[in-house]
Amino acid sequence: MKKIAGLFLVSLFAGAITLGAYKLFFEKDTYKIVEASQETPLIQTSALSASAKGAGINEVDFTLAAEKTVNSVVHVKNLSTNKGSSSIADFFYGFERKETPQIGTGSGVIISPDGFIVTNNHVIANASQLEVTLNNKKTYEARVVGADKDSDIALLKINTDEALPYLAFGDSDNTKVGEWVLAVGNPFNLTSTVTAGIVSAKARSLGRNQSFIQTDAAVNPGNSGGALVNTNGDLIGINTAITSQTGSYVGYAFAVPSNIAKKVIEDLMEFGNVQRGLLGIRGGDLNTESAAELGIDEIEGVYISEITKDSGAEAAGLQEGDVIKKVDDVLVRKFSELIGYISSKRPGDVIEVAVDRNGQRLTRNVRLKKQQTIQLPATGFMVKNLSKEDQKEFGVKEGVKIIDVPEGYNRYDLRDKVITEVDGKKISNIEEAREVFGEISRYGRTSFTMINKNGEKERLILQ
């Protein structure tokens, strides 16, 4: 009995020691952990999450940007006439085709209080009269200050005594993929329409020597020339095109970046045409397959396949095989990004070009030169300005030299001849050639005056 009682007392004493140890060491530490978690309690974390949600997708406020933009976006009406195509009967019997009035509509953005308006070139093309209607229903006749087909940008001017609401150009280089944007315009003659979306991509080329902002904000016929703005109401693009098999919006819309549009407008106002800076390279994008064929490790950047003679790139020491990685502070992952940045510069501007050369990063300062070679509209002729050697060889000081032609013109033996006149209009350089060739009709006859290497004049008539 005493033995059992002794065992009981030992067990009780051991239990007391165990319980005391638990209280002293383990329970005290657990309580501290709880106290530590209470410094940032769960309920506060939930409250912060709710607040963050409040600033998310469902709570983005577009009203400020919309109010700022709608009064600065105008409705543009293009009044023109069309006689239709000519026929052999017209020539022999003197038939005169009846003029058919045509009306086209689009949008524009007021960019100054005194009435300068930016729109698309295709909105105002072939207009005999242009009417601009403001958001307050006032209508004005507009004149074309200048236009550029390559960028599809045009500048209009209306005369008014009142100060107009306007939008200032934002910095499209700072636009981010995924950023919310508004498209404001006049689709289907529905004036002052606002749609929302995000920036889907940047530097889209669409097969053209251009760089567009892609958005999924709804853009339809009539939106062309309208504003693309961010949630602050900053003008970051001019809505220009859609990709669609139906002619209506299916989810893909494209805008000329504001930095390009601004530079084009400034050139049109100051020079009357666009001053394009030339880097002086030929190249393209890289991928795994092409990089392997070229024996390089890079797959991001622009691979230089050729350096143009007497260009800024040649003078700066860029070489074939270099991979352009960065221009100034802008990363270059593909050719359209390079084109987009260069398009915002002028001849004489100096840019810093960072290249990868055999695994070594090099930086060169390149002075952009005036563009010397272009592809002409209507015909597709590739022409260049005359060099001093060309002037001496052909015995002329003005004109443009044909360096390449599309396949259909090969039978005319046009290469290495100098065009001096088109339809009686003299041509001094590629800018004048671009303008004159842009006026060529597909349905009429075009007369070219050319000089061959023997100094002889030749005349070609294309039907």
List the CATH number of the domain containing 173. Answer: 2.40.10.120
Q: Which of 7-21, 130-144, 329-343, 394-408 shows the lowest mean pLDDT across its residues?
A: 7-21
Q: How many CB atoms lie within 10 A of CB 256?
A: 28
Say whether 343 is catalytic.
no
Q: How many CB atoms lie within 10 A of CB 321?
A: 15
Residue-wise pLDDT tens digits, 78-95 = 988 765 554 544 444 444
In the 8-state DSSP scheme, what is residue 22?
Answer: I
Which of 30, 54, 78 is the last residue before a domain boundary? 54
Tokens of 282: 């030929």
Distance CA 353, CA 364 (A): 5
* H or E stretch covering 49: helix 42-54
Task: Please check whether residues 286 and 335 belong to one and the same domain.
Answer: yes
Mean of per-residue pLDDT scores for the chain: 81
Task: Please check whether residues 168 and 102 belong to one and the same domain.
Answer: yes
Query: Residue 295: which domain range?
Result: 277-370
Say whether 87 is catalytic.
no
The pLDDT score that the predictor gives to residue 443 is: 63
Please pick, among 152, 234, 267, 322, the residue that the annotation labels catalytic: 152
Q: Check: CB of residue 106 under 8 Å from CB of residue 76.
A: yes
Vertex 419: Cα angle to 418 and 420 (nearest 5): 110
Task: Please check whether residues 358 and 392 belong to one and the same domain.
Answer: no
Assign 335 to helix, strand or coil. helix
Please pick, among 72, 192, 224, 258, the residue that the annotation labels catalytic: 224
Residue-wise pLDDT tens digits, 38-75 = 332 322 222 333 333 344 555 788 998 999 999 999 99
Model confidence at 453, pLDDT cuts 50, 70, 90, reads confident
Supply the CATH number for residue 399's domain: 2.30.42.10
Which of 217, 251, 274 is the last residue before a domain boundary? 274
C-alpha 191 chain-centroid distance: 25
44: Cβ contacts below 8 Å, ≥ 6 apart? none
* Count of domains forming the chain: 4
- The pLDDT of residue 454 is above 70: yes
Task: Please check whether residues 121 and 244 belong to one and the same domain.
Answer: yes
Say what the pTM is. 0.71
The pLDDT score that the predictor gives to residue 106 is: 92
Please pick, among 72, 75, 122, 322, the residue that the annotation labels catalytic: 122
Say whether 224 is catalytic.
yes
Residue-wise pLDDT tens digits, 224-248 = 999 999 999 999 999 998 876 666 6
Task: Please check whether residues 312 and 447 belong to one and the same domain.
Answer: no
Which of 370, 396, 414 is the last residue before a domain boundary? 370
Task: Please check whether residues 167 and 223 belong to one and the same domain.
Answer: yes
- The pLDDT of residue 345 is above 60: yes
Residues found in the chain: 463
Task: Please check whether residues 303 and 379 belong to one and the same domain.
Answer: no
Task: Please check whether residues 281 and 266 belong to one and the same domain.
Answer: no
Task: Please check whether residues 232 and 381 belong to one and the same domain.
Answer: no
The residue assigned the tokens 């051991």 is: 14
Task: Please check whether residues 150 and 250 belong to one and the same domain.
Answer: yes
Task: Please check whether residues 261 and 283 belong to one and the same domain.
Answer: no
